[in-house]
Every structure is written in C-alpha cells, then in structure tokens.
Amino acid sequence: MTRKKIAVITGASSGLGKEFVKLICQKKEIEEIWAIARNQDKLNKLKSQTGRKVNPISMDLSDLSQIETLGQMLADSQVTVCYLINNAGYGKFGSYSDLSVAESVNMLNLNNNATVAVGLTCLPYMRQGSHIINIASQAAFQPLPYMNLYSASKAFVRSYTRSLHMELRDRGITATAVCPGWMKTPFYERADIGSSHTVTRFRCMASAAKVARKALADADHGKDHSIYGPYVNLCHIASKLLPQKFMMRFWLLQQHLDYSRPSQQ
C-alpha cells in the first residue's frame, strides 16, 4: 500500500510558519500538510487561503499529552513524513524577574521540549530523503541579557539539531537548524510584555518569505544550518571570533539597555 506523503508544520498559522505552508503547497510530491497551531480560526483561514492540501490541526504543543495525540494520529494514518518543520516558538523581552516561573517554563516547553517530542514522534514515519527543519534563531549565537531564556532555548535547538543531523546520516534524513535574524512577523506582539528592560532595536529586518525559501533550499541540499542575509552571517562569524562577554556588552549597547555593575556590599 502506498503511503501518503505529508509535511508536518508547527506554528503554521502565522509569520514564518505560514510562509513554509505556502512554499510546501507548491511541492507537487507533498499530498497533505498537517498545519498545527492553537488557534483553530486562524488555521481555517489559512486553509481557505492556501487550498485543499492543508489539514488544520489545533493543538497546544507546550502540553506533552497533545503531542502524544499527534503520535496516535500518525499511527492511525498511512503516511510518510517528508518534511517536519518545528517552527512554533516564542520569546519575551524583559528581565528574568518579569516572568513568572510558569511563563518561563512554558517557553522552554514549547521552544525545546516540543521540538524534541514532535521530532521523535515523527521520526518513525520518516524515510530516506525526509527533512527535519528546526527553527532556532540568530539569538542562538550568543547569550542575550533581557532575552535570556529565549536565546538559551534557541542555542539548545541549534546544537540539538546539528548533532541530530549527524546521527541521522545513515537513514538519509537531514536535520537543518534555521537561524533567522529579526523578521517581520507577529512575534513582537507576544514578546513585548511592557518591561522596562525591553528590546527596541531590530536591525536588518528580513522578510519571513525569504527566510523560509532559503531554509527549504538549504534543507533540500542537505545542510545542517541555514542562515539568511549578510548581517546575520556577519553576526555568526563575529560570535565565533569574539569573546561572548564582548558580544553581550555590544548587544546591551546596541539595545540601549543598562549594564549595571554589581552593587557594593
């Protein structure tokens, strides 16, 4: 029996995820796109805009039991996952003290635990030539004070994905860590929590469509890393050459955020 060729895209209802849906819709070999996000209305709208291939699935991926439901859905369907795009994620601008314990842990649950859990859930249904695309960030290159959890979570995604890529070579499956700089998406609506330590400078904003196109091309070429644009490439090189303390001071300076010295006891 032939298996249906599908793509699973998380965070599909908005921003970068939506651009991935549009691009994968154009791939003739992909018969169905499992488009996952929480908001059912937005997913239905996505389906009406992009067409019959899209199968909207409302799920909160910060809840592991809902990822188990995804596993059951895969087990009940005759499918091969040709693309898994782990894109759902968010950040918050502010100090460690602006977020509750629950909010902090929720961010890690989505950005990290869901990326791992959805990946491991889909891998049994992937075959030679399948691709995992995990969305990290330029924030993965260095620690970012006042986006501390977010940058740490994206460093995890980048490191995890690149080692997974090596481990999957014998199965002919690739894993690509995508590291976008600032992109024009609704990301900022959730990130801005009105903190006095907020991030306000968004240098060299890129279009999410261009980032998605490069990420797909890099994945198709078997690369373990995808970086779009000269500015992000420059930051990547700088992060390899310069001490992280220097990079953090530069970030604070660029964002007009105070670098306070420890108080004298």
Ligand X SMILES: NC(=O)c1ccc[n+]([C@@H]2O[C@H](COP(=O)([O-])OP(=O)(O)OC[C@H]3O[C@@H](n4cnc5c(N)ncnc54)[C@H](OP(=O)(O)O)[C@@H]3O)[C@@H](O)[C@H]2O)c1
Q: Nearest approach, Cβ of 260 to ligand X (angstroms)? A: 27
Q: Which is nearer to ligand X, 91 or 229 (CB)?
A: 91
Question: Minimum distance from CB of 136 to ligand X (Å)?
Answer: 7
User: What count of other Cβ atoms lies within 10 Å of the Cβ of residue 162?
Assistant: 16
Closer Cβ to ligand X, 14 or 130, answer by number: 14
- Shortest gap between Cβ of 169 and ligand X (angstroms)? 25
Q: Is 132 helix (H, G, I), strand (E, B) or coil?
A: strand
- Which pair of tokens denotes residue 35? 């488009």
Of 79 and 88, the one with the shorter C-beta distance to ligand X is 88
- Cβ closest to ligand X, residue 62 vs residue 121: 62
The H or E element that residue 260 is part of is none
Contact criterion met (CB below 8 Å) for 225 and 166: no
Nearest approach, Cβ of 203 to ligand X (angstroms)?
A: 11
Toward ligand X, which CB reaches closer, 79 or 211?
211
Give the residues lining the site for ligand X (CB under 6 A): 10-17, 37-39, 42, 59-62, 87-91, 110, 135, 137, 180, 182-183, 185-187, 190
Between CA 159 and CA 32 the distance in angstroms is 30
Q: For ligand X, which residue has the nearest CB?
A: 15
Q: How far is the CB of 31 from ligand X (least distance, A)?
A: 22
Integer Cα distance of 73 and 265 in angstroms: 59
CA distances from 146 to 70, 75, 100, 157 (A): 34, 41, 14, 19
* Closer residue to ligand X, CB minimum distance, 11 or 119: 11
First CA to last CA across the chain, in angstroms? 73
Residue nearer to ligand X on the CB measure, 32 or 63: 63
The CA-based dihedral angle spanning residues 104, 225, 159, 115, taken in that order and rounded to the nearest 10 degrees: 50
List, in sequence order, the alpha helices (H) in the chain. 15-25, 40-50, 64-76, 101-108, 115-122, 148-167, 187-191, 208-220, 230-241, 244-254
Least separation in angstroms between residue 264's CB and ligand X is 38
Q: In terms of Cα–Cα distance, which of 199, 220, 225, 206 is closest to 140?
A: 225
Nearest approach in angstroms of CB 3 to ligand X is 25
Nearest partner of 216 among 32, 124, 87, judged by Cα = 87
